[in-house]
Structure 1
């Protein structure tokens, strides 16, 4: 096993996940507005989406297929629309005096929201398409490499998102959670807007 390559992959994944983006903003927003349980389900949804992207990357590697950049842009565009919808839906709740718990969506919707946002996350799409294949030689066998890289991703992903959930739930006072929810909702809206503009420029040259 190539230990140096594995450590490089782990560090890359750590920086990728820890850097604020749509997934982190969604998890923080969910923690502040609906509590740790639903935020954990959301994190599990984003993790499941990552496994789907890993499977796609593995398929590309094993078949030497070429993915049309416009297809990726279209997927990311749909994700941006969904992220924008979540942001717009969360802002009125953050500004309202009605407790969010009284109108909180179901747990199933938390998994679904996390899955859709994770599946269309531009950072993850770029990573798995452009950078993931570079680490496939971490072991002598591709199948072993895919399993190992997937396990490392799952461990780091859930650890980082779990830390964000813990910090938001335990270290942020209840009176500040509305501000956190409002800020993360606004960040989601900015990410969605920038993503829409970027992907439309690709699809409509």
Structure 2
């Protein structure tokens, strides 16, 4: 038999926690506004939310293991992991904010600008090739025998640079996929495990079985987390927040940066004796 009063209190607490503005809501809004059309926006939001939900589910799973007494959690280890996670949040916000300002700068200039490092470097390589070719054309005919060797060395260096830049670009693109952003952001604060350990036991009495109660609490959390974040994304599209993107995008990044800095400072302070 389900205790509806206690379960209602749990649902109310979860809804309040989820809709409270924070890094997860900021990331969902930011990735939603990145889309060029309705379909892209919905896809970006869905991928981000799936990532955050998976992260929450993993943290809840660890919390349940601790609640059932199967394992113990080390607060020192959680503190170190929290610092690393907050470092990722700081990187996520600062890199996105830097990209935003670069786009604004490119938009203000008359010439087209490409902010992707690989493309910039490729342009640089192409200019170098043109310059090198002009330099070769200006050489006396007697020195033309040196051209094949110089071209071979130059081509080898350019190929090495291009391969290195492709690898860097691929890694950066992977880190900036909406799903992985959501997952890493959700996992970036392992101290949420302590929150779940303290939060869930207050509502284990909703049924006569602890295992059934944990199952109901977990499924309810995931369902509410997914649906509410999806609703926030849907509302942001319907009220046409796109026109406020120049304000919302940097503000979301600033929220992430502040959370990252605060988390790092708090993490170091918590590790001190």
TM-score (norm 2): 0.67
Q: Deviation string for 1:29-55 (max 9, x for gaps)?
A: 211224331121111111111111111
Equivalent residue, structure 1, for 2:21 = 20
Task: Check whether the contact 1:118–1:124 (CA below 8 A) recurs between aligned residues.
Answer: no
The 2-side partners of 1:66 and 1:142 are apart by: 19
Superposition RMSD in Å: 2.5
Task: Check whether the contact 2:97–2:250 (CA below 8 A) recurs between aligned residues.
Answer: yes
Describe the shift of the 1:30–1:195 C-alpha distance in structure 2 as closer, same or farther (beyond 3 A).
Answer: same
Describe the shift of the 1:66–1:173 C-alpha distance in structure 2 as closer, same or farther (beyond 3 A).
Answer: closer
Q: Which of 242, 245, 250 is the equivalent residue of 1:182?
A: 250
Secondary structure in structure 2 of the residue aligned to 1:180: helix
Q: Which of 91, 113, 118 is the equivalent residue of 2:181?
A: 113
Number of residue pairs matched by the alignment: 203
Larger-Rg structure: 2
Unaligned 5+ segments in structure 2 are 36-40, 108-114, 117-171
Q: How does 1:162-201 map to 2 (within 5 A)?
A: 162-201=230-269
Describe the shift of the 1:189–1:105 C-alpha distance in structure 2 as closer, same or farther (beyond 3 A).
Answer: same
Secondary structure in structure 2 of the residue aligned to 1:63: coil
**How far has the Cα of 1:172 moved from its partner?**
3.2
Task: Check whether the contact 1:46–1:118 (CA below 8 A) recurs between aligned residues.
Answer: yes
The 2-side partners of 1:49 and 1:55 are apart by: 10
Task: Check whether the contact 2:86–2:260 (CA below 8 A) recurs between aligned residues.
Answer: yes
**How far has the Cα of 1:175 moved from its partner?**
3.0
**How far has the Cα of 1:149 moved from its partner?**
0.8
Equivalent residue, structure 2, for 1:36 = 42
The 1-side partners of 2:201 and 2:80 are apart by: 22
Equivalent residue, structure 1, for 2:203 = 135
The 2-side partners of 1:189 and 1:108 are apart by: 16
Describe the shift of the 1:28–1:122 C-alpha distance in structure 2 as closer, same or farther (beyond 3 A).
Answer: farther
Q: How does 1:67-86 map to 2 (within 5 A)?
A: 67-86=73-92
The 2-side partners of 1:37 and 1:147 are apart by: 29
TM-score (norm 1): 0.88
Task: Check whether the contact 2:52–2:183 (CA below 8 A) recurs between aligned residues.
Answer: yes
The 1-side partners of 2:256 and 2:231 are apart by: 20
**How far has the Cα of 1:129 moved from its partner?**
2.3
The 1-side partners of 2:194 and 2:26 are apart by: 19
Task: Check whether the contact 2:63–2:193 (CA below 8 A) recurs between aligned residues.
Answer: no
